[in-house]
Amino acid sequence: MNFTGLSKLFSVFGIIKKSGGLRASLYKMFRMDELKVGTLMGTDKYGNKYYENNRFFFARNRWIEYAPYYRLEYDGSQVPAEWFGWLHYKTDLTPDQDPGRPKYKWMLDHTENLSGTPRQYVPYSTTKQKIEPWKPCSHKFLIIATRFSHQQAGYTHFGFATVKDYEKQQRVNKVFDEVAQSYDLMNDLMSFGIHRVWKDIFVDRLAPPPGTKLLDVAGGTGDIAFRYLNYLKLKQPDPNSHVTVLDINKTMLDVGKYRCDALGHDPSLITFREGNAEELPYENDLFDAYTIVFGIRNCTRIEKVVDEAYRVLKPGGRFLCMEFSEVSNTTLQWIYDQYSFQVIPLLGQLVVGQWHPYQYLVESIRRFPNQDHFKSIIERSGFRQVVYENLSSGIVAIHSAFKL
């Protein structure tokens, strides 16, 4: 397997070494939320260091490491004017290469007025702030408001970023092209293998009877489809049973086909097909059950996906979705956030040599509607008997509904 190639391992060790060792690397990761090395272009009067590495994409190939003196209290105002232009690609010349700067008075060092005269500027009272700190709105209101504004303007979210509708699918495809070969391995590492238990519970809740025709959407590598076939094999084999695995990403489907052959499943019982969950290539009232696991949050229009599920299900058909959700315990939520944002991207960098696909996956989890909001989306599509079940204190939730 090439995903753990020695070259990537040596590259990781090289980055850790250049960052000053393991302890220094962890400290750097904690302060900067990323770990990368480049050429030191200079140091400003505050002690901030400026780096460049043209192997990275534009807009990520220049960065600043704030001086430890400022600890976690740094912000953009601590970037001197002479370095601002270089850092934001207004010039390729560093201040030492451009002696003509600063060119304007406002670029000169500011001297605080401590004269005690009326000309001294006092920004706010020493007893009461005039500028109150911003307080975020509630999770539920934020999702409703952002979705409404995005739909009106043709925008959606890609993780924490806002992108146009047509861009999201392109970016999601790129993410899964990069992670396809190591998708199942990373699932084991990121969840400590718990995702296998969740998926086993999911198939048990589905409890498909013999002869069930299942559509597994966003099921690329076949995890749910293979569990479905194993479940029927143990309960009561039926040649009329069939599962269709539909995924928009061809690379993921290729991995699923390879695994299907390797596991020795009967190819007549399973079909792999490339397709879009928002525009299913099937006629109405065709399937007995519809499943989608850890995939619906990657779709551009969640409501459209649920509408399509309702359309292709037979009357009496079952809709079952498992997705990451809102954790009910505040202490666990804090631990989960720290692990998700600090550890998972680093794990992706160490194992796969890519951190940004896993940064997106973590961000997409936080942007997905909570349990009650997603339940209301399912109900609006026409489903009945809509319920959800939390697993692991709400880290994931199984949503169940019927077309009646």
Task: Tell me, rounded to whole angstroms, the distance of Cα 384 from its chain centroid.
Answer: 30
Tell me the two tokens of residue 60. 């990520």
- 94-136 pLDDT, tens digit each: 887 765 555 555 555 556 666 666 666 555 555 555 556 666 5
Identify the residue whose tokens are 């599509």.
381
Has residue 275 got a pLDDT over 60? yes
Q: What per-residue confidence (pLDDT) applies to 115?
A: 65
Average pLDDT, the chain: 80
Torsional sign, CA 159, 160, 166, 170:
negative
Q: What per-residue confidence (pLDDT) applies to 57?
A: 74
Dist CA 340 CA 190 (whole Å): 9
Mean pLDDT, rounded, for 252-275: 90
Tell me the two tokens of residue 141. 């209101």
Has residue 235 got a pLDDT over 70? yes
Q: What per-residue confidence (pLDDT) applies to 314?
A: 95
Q: What per-residue confidence (pLDDT) applies to 4?
A: 52
Binding site residues for S-adenosyl-L-methionine, as ranges? 221, 247, 276-277
| Higher pLDDT pick, 303 / 83 | 303
Distance from first CA to last CA of the chain, Å, rounded?
47
Has residue 287 got a pLDDT over 90? yes
Q: What per-residue confidence (pLDDT) applies to 157?
A: 63
| Higher pLDDT pick, 35 / 243 | 243
Identify the top-confidence range among 167-176, 274-283, 347-356. 274-283
Identify the top-confidence range among 159-163, 167-171, 203-207. 203-207
Residue 354 phi/psi, 5-degree rounding, is -140, 125
Min mean pLDDT across 2-11, 65-74, 291-300, 357-366 is at: 65-74
**Do the Cβ atoms of 365 and 371 come closer than 8 Å?**
no
Residues found in the chain? 404
| Domain locations along the chain | 38-107, 161-402
Q: What per-residue confidence (pLDDT) applies to 150?
A: 47
Q: What per-residue confidence (pLDDT) applies to 111?
A: 62
| Higher pLDDT pick, 59 / 121 | 59
Has residue 75 got a pLDDT over 80? no
Q: What per-residue confidence (pLDDT) applies to 367?
A: 83
**Do the Cβ atoms of 81 and 93 come closer than 8 Å?**
no
Bridge partners of 63, per DSSP, are 51
Q: Cβ atoms within 10 A of the Cβ of 196, count?
A: 14
Q: What per-residue confidence (pLDDT) applies to 95?
A: 82
User: What's the topology of domain 161-402?
Assistant: Rossmann fold (3.40.50)
Dist CA 276 CA 308 (whole Å): 10
Has residue 1 got a pLDDT over 50? no
Dist CA 265 CA 254 (whole Å): 15
Mean pLDDT, rounded, for 176-187: 73
- In 3-state terms the chain splits into helix, strand, coil percentages (rounded to 5) of 45, 20, 35
**Do the Cβ atoms of 118 and 130 come closer than 8 Å?**
no
- 298-340 pLDDT, tens digit each: 888 899 999 999 999 999 999 999 999 989 888 888 888 888 8
- Backbone Cα Rg of the chain: 26
Binding site residues, as ranges? 221, 247, 276-277
Mean pLDDT, rounded, for 373-397: 93
Q: What per-residue confidence (pLDDT) applies to 10?
A: 73
Has residue 285 got a pLDDT over 50? yes
